[in-house]
Structure 1
Amino acid sequence: MKNPIKLAVFDMAGTTIKDQSNVAEAFVSAFASHGYSQVSLQEANEKMGYPKPLAIREMLQAHTEEVTDEEVKKIHDSFVKEMIRFYRESPDIAPMDDALEVFESLQQMGIKVGLDTGFSRDIADVILERIGWVNHPLIDITVCSDEVKKGRPHPDMILKMMAALGIGSPLEVIKVGDTEVDIHEGLNSGCLMSVAVTTGAYTEAELKPHQPTHIVHRLLDILPLVAKEIGEPVQ
């Protein structure tokens, strides 16, 4: 007998929140403000989805022999300030067009919806407030990378959600995200599905080598996959 799907975990920026390289640009700006103007947008894009302090440390290691905790913190603090300013002020902040429709359809199938992110809670809360998703009835739980011991690609954020919602098996969970670390987070968690979506930082060709269980081009394409798995028509 198949396990029912009880939880769908979605990434935020690039998956359920529109992102036009805004996060990567904030990375580049934060590095430049501390004398690392050689850090490129491509380098930043390659670190999308990772916990931000870890991403900063790894990017620094490519440009300097000595990386200190203090330097990582300084750059991270600048990044956080830039992201909070952007998400508070930019007119371009919006959910993906089909995000709420997908959340509602999943809930009608009896599946809870969670959001996880490589952002720290201070940034995530600004995003959620700006788009009206704070305490939203279609979102059951949110977890941020600074609320667990290890962020992506480790399973800690998904395990935290499972514990909070009383879900016993990762085979009752699916993960959806737009980066390689989203894919590996789902795979490392043992999720029934680890679905890659091409709405964010990576193309299908770039995502495929990381072996997601499925690749889709919009969030709505997830619904028939789920419906088929649980033997129900799409709502």
Structure 2
Amino acid sequence: MNYQQPPHLQAVILDWAGTVVDFGSLAPTQIFVEAFAEFGVKVSIDEARGPMGMGKWDHIRTLCNVPAIAERYREKFGRKPTDDDVTTIYERFMPLQIEKIGLHSALIPGALDAIATLRDRGLKIGTCSGYPAQVMAKVVDIARDNGYVPDHVVATDEVPNGRPHPAQSLANVIALSINDVAACVKVDDTWPGILEGRSAGMWAVALTCSGNALGLTYEEYKALPPEKLAKERQRIEQMFEGSRPHYMINTIAELPAVIDEINARLARGEMPQGC
């Protein structure tokens, strides 16, 4: 039997915060700042945003590896943070995250319409997140109340390795009965999420304005002067270059047009691994 490449897409695998909900990816970022602050260690919003997209324990470990943050920790405790210290911070992070997740869980404008369009075109909707299952359960409940119910959800602690490893995307492939990873598109607002999709052999679409990289509310985004927005978009596109997304768009509202283009490329024989 000969290999036959997929003639069209079968599924879209969407991130959550910054992609479908929480326009500026504000919920996780602020909680990192607060969790470290409870131990007397200052972490700025910009520092907290750096590893966004990773699982939350890995995110905290990465922050603790930042020389400036590690030095602040040493000044407070007389030593650099160990994995046990990371776990202690993580255990404080979790209840804070669960308590406050509802403050930043509104659907991103245009998300429901875009997802409905994808479903009309026969695509399944898989999802994954850097949130652990305990937090995801609350996010999913709030999203359901707001009209968003994906076909599958994979939390970061439900697989052996979180982003940038491909495990979460591949878990969606299995659960959704997709027969070829090249028939999938991974959509994310962070570089670990784009690397996840790339490593899984999928098409990858990066969001430049709705998520972590811009870090603004929807209202703040819409109020940006055109020249400022253009400058910020250029910065964000440069940030994404190393993760090699196939497309970069402002928000999920623009995704249906990209899906049409990818379907056309598949019909011409193009594959995500070759470009």
Same fold (TM > 0.5): yes
Equivalent position of 2:253 in the other structure: 220
Alpha-carbon distance in 2 for matches of 1:161, 1:77: 27
Equivalent position of 1:196 in the other structure: 206
Equivalent of residue 142 in structure 1, options 145, 153, 158: 153
Contact 2:27/2:101 (<8 A) preserved: no
CA RMSD of aligned residues (A): 1.9
Which range is displaced more, 209-218 or 67-76? 67-76
1:6-25 alignment runs, 5 A limit? 6-20=10-24, 21-25=26-30
Post-superposition offset of 1:133: 5.6
Which AA in structure 2 matches 1:58? Answer: T
Q: What secondary structure is seen at the aligned counterpart in 2 of 1:131?
A: helix
Alpha-carbon distance in 1 for matches of 2:120, 2:155: 26
Unaligned 5+ runs, structure 2 = 214-235, 265-275
Alpha-carbon distance in 1 for matches of 2:141, 2:96: 17
How many residues align structurally? 226
Unaligned 5+ runs, structure 1 = none
Post-superposition offset of 1:2: 4.8
Equivalent of residue 131 in structure 1, options 138, 143, 147: 143
Alpha-carbon distance in 1 for matches of 2:254, 2:152: 22
Q: What secondary structure is seen at the aligned counterpart in 2 of 1:56?
A: helix
CA-to-partner distance for each residue in 1:137-164, whole Å, 9 max, x for gaps?
7511000100000010110001111111
Q: What secondary structure is seen at the aligned counterpart in 1 of 2:153?
A: strand
Alpha-carbon distance in 1 for matches of 2:105, 2:168: 24
Query: Greater share of helix residues, 1 or 2?
Result: 2
Equivalent position of 1:80 in the other structure: 94
Post-superposition offset of 1:228: 2.9
Which range is displaced more, 196-205 or 4-13? 196-205
Q: What secondary structure is seen at the aligned counterpart in 2 of 1:132?
A: helix
1:21-170 alignment runs, 5 A limit? 21-37=26-42, 39-62=43-66, 63=70, 64=74, 66-88=80-102, 90=103, 92-132=104-144, 138-170=149-181
**TM-score of the superposed pair, with normalisation by structure 2:** 0.76
